[in-house]
């Protein structure tokens, strides 16, 4: 395989590493003096009662970095080129298990150190809130140490018995907001027209391509969703800090607080000098006769040999086989796309269907929790996955657990008549369909590019990238969109035991918080993965001792590198270059990236999407 960059420097580095022992052998050596004393006295052999090992232990957890559901993980080699260091998200559910593990320790005091600035989404915060409640119910006193803390982490800190804050720290208590990128003006500047066929008045999924700014009715709808989510955040903080909800809401409007102001407002309990968690705990406890011990599960020791590590990086992981009765948590994450090969960050229909059918056929799998984190995507891929889930549910218990978002196609795949749980902060719904294609005719004309299409009738003109659709072609595409939307409504109505008309009244592309979705009958109840697992165990009539297994395994460097080589297959051209320029500015919006990638690789034809509004994230 030919690499796209020079290998000279890595080769020299490797040569130096391999010859390091020889270089050391040539260096002048100085005799090492013998130890001052080689024999130990009998007294020295006796344990010292004042050594650190005999001090009472204070178990602690220090989360850091971003946390993602298992299947969302993956090494991003492009981040190395952009200076990101290739850092990947950490798996959330093992950390959740570590928090639950605090309840089983013999020590009565435990510490949550939030100075690593971990990033949890709203549903993950609710899972952690319940876990910390279980720790406190087990009789543990939970301390929390913070320095600078934001609104999400403060919800977590508020669930602890005592919050200790560094005296130069700060608290940002802002209310949630969302950011939606509108591309209309940029596309006009490039000379690219977006042709859309859609259903529903709430056109949030296509507004960013059609309007330079957000419409008023969509803004009001989003504000109502934010209010629903914020009510839960206020409840969490108010209950934890024993404050009235209206007081917390007023503090959100003030937003920024110094450490002294945070203590004055009752948001934290104690202030200490900025000197780290160990000294902070010594101050508040009144003594230093304790030892901080990491309560996180110990990782298996790995060889630090260079060649062993290099070999490990490029060895693709094999998924663990199921050898005993299991409850499986199947993660379906990312934008839903058609295809046969797995791709990091996407829910590809072929591999997803294959895995679901394997679970259905495996007699050791006693039930399945389907954990969804998806903005939707291709309507045809969504239907393929939905049918596989239907086959799975015909053989064993299935319960859906919605994560950060399960919208549009991500909701479509749940419409099999099985229980659905979501968190208040889940974004779901977006029951709507649209067709879209990018038409760079104006850009091509500016560059002097003209395409002649030799044809027998006007049918091939629907694929032309340099001219708009005719009215007849547009009507034809609208018919396809209407047909798929009707199917979407029928699936939801049958699954939720309602009429298509009742579903249409809350569909049309509208997105809802998890709490709103419960009120609208789109979701059964508020709950997390543990609640879904308990439901599956009850349905399967198995005991609590049956193990829970998360699949698929997170991707490593080799998996991601090999599966991402499809990027090199994207066809070059005038329109592709223009769209890549836009793509570079909206990399953090997965839905925009997905649509633009489709445009880069397509022949100008229209794909029909069940996809939520692009870039719609609450923070």
- What total number of domains does the chain contain? 1
Cβ atoms within 10 Å, residue 455:
10
The residue ranges of the chain whose pLDDT is under 70 are 1-53, 71-87, 200-203, 299-320, 553-606, 614-615
- Residue 470 belongs to a domain: yes
- Residue 11 belongs to a domain: no
Instruction: Give the residues across from 194 on adjacent strands.
Output: 438
Extract the tokens encoding 337. 């796309």
Backbone phi and psi for residue 284, each to the nearest 5 degrees, phi listed first: -75, -25
pLDDT at position 50, please? 45
CA distance 610 to 85: 34
Extract the tokens encoding 351. 């591999």
Cβ atoms within 10 Å, residue 588:
11
- Residue 397 belongs to a domain: yes
pLDDT at position 317, please? 52
**What sign results for the dihedral spanned by CA atoms 99, 332, 394, 495?**
positive
pLDDT at position 396, please? 97
pLDDT at position 553, please? 63
> What CATH number does residue 466 fall under?
3.90.226.10
- Residue 467 belongs to a domain: yes
Domain that holds residue 479: 326-618
Q: What are the residue ranges of helices labelled H in 505-556?
A: 514-520, 529-540
- Residue 199 belongs to a domain: no
pLDDT at position 198, please? 84
- Residue 262 belongs to a domain: no
Helix (H, G, I), strand (E, B) or coil at 478: helix
- Residue 144 belongs to a domain: no
pLDDT at position 601, please? 54
- Residue 135 belongs to a domain: no
């Amino acid at each position: 395989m030919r690499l796209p960059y020079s290998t000279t420097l890595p080769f020299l580095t490797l040569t130096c590493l391999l010859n390091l022992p020889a270089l050391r052998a040539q260096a002048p050596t100085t005799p090492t003096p013998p130890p001052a004393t080689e024999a130990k006295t009998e007294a020295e052999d006796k344990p010292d009662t004042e050594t650190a090992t005999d001090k009472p232990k204070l178990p602690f957890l220090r989360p850091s970095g971003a946390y993602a559901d298992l299947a969302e993980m993956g090494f991003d080699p492009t981040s190395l080129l952009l200076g990101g260091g290739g850092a990947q998200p950490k798996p959330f559910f093992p950390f959740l298990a570590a928090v639950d593990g605090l309840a089983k320790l013999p020590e009565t005091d435990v510490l949550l150190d939030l100075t690593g600035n971990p990033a949890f989404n709203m549903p993950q915060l609710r899972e952690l809130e319940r876990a910390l409640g279980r720790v406190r119910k087990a009789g543990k006193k939970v301390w929390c140490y913070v320095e600078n803390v934001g609104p999400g982490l403060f919800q977590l800190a508020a669930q602890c018995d005592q919050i200790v804050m560094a005296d130069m720290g700060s608290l940002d208590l802002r209310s949630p907001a969302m950011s939606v990128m509108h591309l209309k003006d940029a596309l006009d500047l490039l000379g690219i027209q977006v042709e859309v066929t859609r259903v529903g008045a709430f056109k949030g999924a296509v507004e960013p391509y059609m309007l330079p700014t957000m419409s008023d009715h969509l803004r009001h709808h989003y504000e109502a969703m934010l209010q629903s989510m914020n009510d839960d955040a206020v409840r969490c903080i108010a209950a934890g800090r024993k404050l009235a909800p209206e007081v917390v809401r007023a503090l959100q409007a003030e937003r920024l607080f110094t450490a002294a102001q945070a203590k004055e407002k009752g948001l934290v309990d104690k202030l200490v000098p900025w000197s780290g968690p160990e000294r902070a705990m010594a101050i508040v406890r009144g003594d230093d006769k304790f030892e901080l011990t990491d309560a996180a599960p110990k990782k298996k020791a790995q060889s630090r040999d260079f060649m062993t590590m290099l070999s490990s990086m490029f060895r693709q992981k094999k998924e663990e086989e199921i050898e005993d009765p299991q409850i499986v948590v199947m993660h379906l994450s990312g934008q839903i796309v058609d295809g046969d090969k797995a791709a990091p960050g996407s829910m590809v229909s072929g591999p997803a269907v294959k895995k679901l059918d394997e679970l259905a056929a495996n007699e050791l799998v006693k039930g399945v929790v389907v954990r969804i984190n998806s903005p939707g995507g291709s309507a045809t891929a969504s239907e393929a996955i939905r049918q596989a889930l239907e086959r799975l549910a015909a053989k064993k218990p299935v319960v859906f657990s919605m994560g950060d978002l399960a919208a549009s196609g991500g909701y479509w795949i749940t419409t099999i008549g099985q229980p659905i749980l979501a968190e208040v902060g889940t974004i779901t719904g977006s029951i709507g369909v649209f067709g879209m294609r990018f038409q760079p005719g104006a850009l091509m004309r500016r560059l002097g590019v003209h395409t002649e299409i030799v044809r027998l009738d006007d049918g091939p003109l629907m694929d032309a990238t340099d001219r708009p659709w005719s009215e007849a072609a547009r009507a034809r595409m609208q018919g396809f969109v209407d047909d798929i939307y009707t199917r979407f409504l029928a699936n939801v109505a049958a699954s939720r035991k309602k009429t298509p008309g009742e579903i249409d009244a809350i569909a049309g592309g509208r997105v809802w918080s998890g709490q709103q979705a419960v009120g609208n009958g789109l979701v059964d109840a508020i709950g997390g993965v543990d609640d879904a697992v308990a439901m599956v165990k009850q349905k399967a009539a198995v005991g609590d001792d049956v193990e829970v297994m998360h699949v698929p395994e997170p991707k490593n460097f080799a998996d991601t590198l090999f599966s991402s080589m499809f990027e090199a297959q994207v066809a070059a051209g005038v329109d592709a270059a223009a769209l890549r320029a836009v793509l570079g500015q909206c990399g953090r919006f997965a839905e925009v990236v997905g649509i633009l990638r489709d445009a880069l690789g397509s022949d100008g034809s229209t794909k029909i999407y069940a996809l939520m509004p692009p870039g719609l994230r609450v923070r």
